[in-house]
Amino acid sequence: MHSTSRFPHILRFFLVFVLAFVLAPRNIYAQDLIARQAPVDRRVKAIDSVAINRVLKRRQREDFEMGDLYSSWNTESVHCYANSQLPEKFRIDLRGFAMPTPSRIVTSNFGYRPAFGRNHKGIDVKVYIGDTIVSAFDGKVRIVKYDRGGYGKYIVIRHNNGLETIYGHLSKQIVKVGDVVRAGEPIGLGGNTGLSTGSHLHFETRLLGEAINPALLFDFANQDVTCDFYDYINPNYNPLRGNGGNAPALAQLSEGEAGAENLQHDEAVQPEQRQAETRSSAKSSRQGKGKVYKVRKGDSLSTISKRTGISVRELCRRNNISKRSRLQIGQILRY
């Protein structure tokens, strides 16, 4: 009787032991499988992210809009704009900018250089070898080359706002032709390559090859742009001949001619007037005098005339506007 009554307890213990033995390894294996799967999932997600980024980059390159201003895409010559004409007026959107360098020191201004007997098509900003240089606006890299007799290692980027920016004398280029870059994205390192006597960044802003003084757009001392929108007015535009006077600027030039110190094609158009203007610009810059006025809220041509000391008529003439023209806040006026 005693042994018979113990049998159900022994059987129950045996069943529990068997179940524990059989099920325990499975539970451990399931936990191990989950633990092992987690890093695999992370790696797969990382691979997916890389693949997605590549697809997005490719689509950005394919979808980049040159707009109506440029009709060609040349990856060899700095100033080649076949079948393109510089318009009479063009509004440049400066919003969404990034200063190409945090340096505030401008060592050489835009304009005529008596020592060299030619125009300087950009400005030189003091940087040291290895300093990070970034893209000024969103855009697409058009040229990454080396020019021994001029720019040295340089990069040309075409931007959505119509500008092209040139970064010269770099020690290293870290982008390639066709890359889509964002404003503030590193593109190279400061250097002293090419025709250069010390480490600096040669920075140019151009519209269809026409050099625009970067100081009209960028205030390096205050690390800011001068306005939200800059209205470029073609001084050589002739409605009867179209772009006529700018033909030299739209022709293809050799790399040597396109060097930072050797570009002189703008002087072919009204050389005496052009050189006089650039001399005046350089002189005004050295003396700390401004040549542009940024329209503020409540400004009118008469108030601006009083502030700048020139007549309304002269303001209108220099900026190709009429007395009835509507001024916009942030608009740049020459005086």
Encode pLDDT of 266-288 as tens digits: 333 333 334 443 444 444 444 44
What's the token pair of residue 227? 């306005």
Q: How confident is the model at residue 15 (pLDDT cuts 50, 70, 90)?
A: confident
Nearest one of 192, 195, 175 to 128, comparing CA atoms: 192
Q: Do 299 and 288 form a contact (C-beta atoms < 8 A)?
A: no
Bridge partners, 229 (sequence order) = 93
Contact 310, 335 (CB under 8 A): yes
Residue 288 φ/ψ region, left for φ over 0, alpha for ψ in the -120 to 50 degree band, beta for the rest: left
305 or 49: which carries more pLDDT confidence?
305
DSSP state of 223: T
Tally of CB atoms within 10 A around 94: 21
CB-CB contact of 78 with 166 (8 Å): yes
User: 215 is written with which tokens?
Assistant: 């100081």
- Helix and strand tally (H, E) in the chain? 5, 19
Q: Are the C-beta atoms of 304 and 295 separated by less than 8 Å?
A: yes
Q: Which burial class, exposed, middle or buried, applies to 79 when counting CB atoms under 10 A from its CB (0-12, 13-18, 19+)? A: buried
**Helix 301-308 with 312-319: angle, nearest 10 deg:** 100
Is the confidence at residue 169, as pLDDT, over 90? yes
Amino acid of residue 93: D
Residue with tokens 């007026």: 89
Which tokens sit at 217?
């757009």
Q: What is the pLDDT at residue 212?
A: 94
CATH 2.70.70.10 corresponds to the domain 89-226+251-263: yes
* Banded pLDDT at 66 (limits 50, 70, 90): low
pLDDT in tens, 126-168: 999 999 999 999 999 999 999 998 999 999 999 999 999 999 9
Neighbouring CB atoms inside 10 A of 314's CB total 13
| Least confident interval from 6-15, 55-64, 222-231, 288-297 | 55-64
H-state helical runs in the chain: 2-63, 247-250, 271-286, 301-308, 312-319
Instruction: Enumerate the domain spans of the chain.
Output: 27-63, 89-226+251-263
Whole-model pTM?
A: 0.58
**Three-class SS state of 95:** coil
Coil, helix or strand for 244?
helix
Using CA atoms, how far residue 119 sits from 72, 154, 271, 319, in Å, is 27, 19, 11, 23
What is the C-alpha to C-alpha distance for residues 249 and 209, in angstroms, rounded to an integer? 6
